[in-house]
Structure 1
Amino acid sequence: MPRDAAPLDVQNFAAAHLLRRPEPVRVGGFVAGFDPATTSPYVNYATPLPGTTPSEADVAALVAEFRGRGLLPRLEFAPDAAPEVEAALRRAGFSTEAVHEYLVCTPATLTLPAGLPQAEIPASDEEFTEIDAALAEAFAGEFPASAEGAARLRRTQERGGAVRFVRADDGGCAGAASCSAPAEGTAELAGVGTRPAYRGRGVAAAVTSALAGAMFERGAESVWLEYSGDGSRRVYERVGFRPGGTRLYLRLGRPLP
């Protein structure tokens, strides 16, 4: 994927992905995706369509859609693909939650280093539960383990995405990640986590490369992910991910209790 194509592809994917939510809504030049099973702002959020120029009324209608559901108005998007959106949202009072760089892998850049542990495909409810618990530990409880978390991982796999994990010494899960079903030629790889006792053994590289390869086998032209630090970036670059652009997270007000 040429570098200048990445923001548009990622933003097209973001809109298509939110339209898969149980309750998607189009508001002006925005797509909002809602899941009544959770109030999490990381599940319920919106994104602009590429190139949209939102009016004040469009933004107000979007905010009203969230407020009417008792949810925090929140957006995630690649600003280079919708350059008029950020200013319109800030005029309405939205503030920065985070700015993340993302990396992109293509079939031409994917690398499979030697010596990585085997990445497996989960099948049983027990394996999905083990994966959810391992990811909760990997992220220090930021996303607590739950039956819904395990079910969400299973749905990801059943609906055209993929989940991969490396088995721990005790038969459980050492680390894992998931990837959404492809849309608009690309797919998002997320939730790469390794339990502390298994870090430094190539677990993250194994699941990342396995998931990217699985998506390419299904016809995706690229896979992208966001990274959290230089250490994780080096892991992803090792298996073929390259700089793609920036994603902006904006919200209006504080997260709901």
Structure 2
Amino acid sequence: MHADVQSFAVAHLLRRPAARRVGGFVAGFDPATTSPYVNYATPVPGAEPTDAEVADLITAFRTRGLTPRLEFAPDAAPQVEPALRRAGFRTEAVHDYLVCTPATLTVPTASAEPGASPEPGGPRGRVRVEAPVSEDDYVAIDTALAEAFGGEWAPSPEGAARLRRTEEGGGAVRFVRAEDGSCAGGALCSAPAEGTAELAGVGTLPAYRGRGIAAAVTANLAGTLFARGARTVWLEYSGEGSRRVYERVGFRPGGTRLYLTHEG
């Protein structure tokens, strides 16, 4: 599975507006933002980069005023981490990832169909998952996810536009409405590549947590991508609580991803 996830990472970054190949790496640049979570690089599976290639990669980031940063599954390219360490890259994070298949997907009882699943103010077991249809929906989702993740990024027109591009580019964005018509929680899933797709950004506003929203949205997105031909869907989790949510809907241990940055 490591090779599938790493092959996906390469294909996904090549979709960036200013993607660039540097030796055995692909750097996914987006001129619309300086966010390190959007602008990063990854190695091709099996890459064996030279020190010169790593130096070129660092330069590609620096000339754009960006911090050199990589995300990758180290087991898919064992020679990459040592080369990056020699150049001064340091660990930002290590995340485990989980994988779901059509055979393991377990849809919450009230969401047996993608799109129907506990309305935030309603009785337990009645979530309704929706796809965004208006610009207001995309803005509401971007705003809610920014708050759900503790303000790690600010909501913005660019953020809403990226959500729209995900939905219109073969991926999917799903959310649950709050009582006032805004977003109580949501997530997104990339378009498939190399037979798999990444599910990310699962977030619920604090006032709506514990109502099954994350599980409903996650199951809905996985089911949607399976219906579009993906063989697997994978995601990273941030703690044991979220891991239990994902495991309840059919995600199983897949491997580890490494995040490295260069601050020099």
Which category of TM-score, normalised to the shorter sequence, fits these structures?
Answer: over 0.9
The alignment partner of 1:209 has SS state of: helix
The alignment partner of 2:131 has SS state of: coil
What corresponds to 1:12 in structure 2? Answer: 7
Structure 2 unaligned regions, length at least 5: 110-124
Q: Kindly provide the amino acid, as one letter, of the partner of residue 91 in structure 2.
A: T
What corresponds to 1:225 in structure 2? Answer: 235
After superposition, the CA RMSD in angstroms is 0.9
The alignment partner of 1:213 has SS state of: helix
Q: In the alignment, is residue 184 of structure 1 matched against residue 194 of structure 2?
A: yes
Residues 135-161 of structure 1 show CA distances to partners (whole Å, capped at 9, x for unaligned) of 111112112111111111111101111
Once residues 23 and 154 of structure 2 are traced to their aligned partners in structure 1, the CA distance between those partners, rounded to angstroms, is: 35
What corresponds to 1:120 in structure 2? Answer: 130
Deviation at 1:68, TM superposition (A): 1.3
Once residues 24 and 208 of structure 2 are traced to their aligned partners in structure 1, the CA distance between those partners, rounded to angstroms, is: 44
TM-score by length of 2: 0.93
The alignment partner of 2:223 has SS state of: helix
Once residues 7 and 127 of structure 1 are traced to their aligned partners in structure 2, the CA distance between those partners, rounded to angstroms, is: 35
What corresponds to 1:92 in structure 2? Answer: 87
Q: Kindly provide the amino acid, as one letter, of the partner of residue 98 in structure 1.
A: A
TM-score by length of 1: 0.95
Matches within 5 A, 1:228-243: 228-243=238-253
Deviation at 1:171, TM superposition (A): 1.6
Q: In the alignment, is residue 198 of structure 1 matched against residue 193 of structure 2?
A: no
What corresponds to 1:3 in structure 2? Answer: none
Matches within 5 A, 1:83-162: 83-114=78-109, 115=125, 117-162=127-172
What corresponds to 1:166 in structure 2? Answer: 176
Q: Kindly provide the amino acid, as one letter, of the partner of residue 38 in structure 1.
A: T
Once residues 135 and 92 of structure 1 are traced to their aligned partners in structure 2, the CA distance between those partners, rounded to angstroms, is: 35
Q: In the alignment, is residue 26 of structure 1 matched against residue 21 of structure 2?
A: yes
Match of 2:69 among 74, 79, 92: 74
Q: Kindly provide the amino acid, as one letter, of the partner of residue 209 in structure 2.
A: R
The alignment partner of 1:23 has SS state of: coil
Q: Kindly provide the amino acid, as one letter, of the partner of residue 93 in structure 1.
A: G
Partners of 1:153 and 1:163 within 8 A in 2 = yes
State percent identity of aligned pairs: 74
Partners of 1:116 and 1:203 within 8 A in 2 = no
Does 111-120 or 181-190 show the bigger shift?
111-120
The alignment partner of 2:26 has SS state of: strand
The alignment partner of 1:21 has SS state of: coil
Residues 93-151 of structure 1 show CA distances to partners (whole Å, capped at 9, x for unaligned) of 00000000000000000001213512101010011111111111111211211111111
What corresponds to 1:53 in structure 2? Answer: 48
Q: Structure 1 stretches (4+) deviating beyond 4 angstroms? A: none
Partners of 1:118 and 1:166 within 8 A in 2 = yes
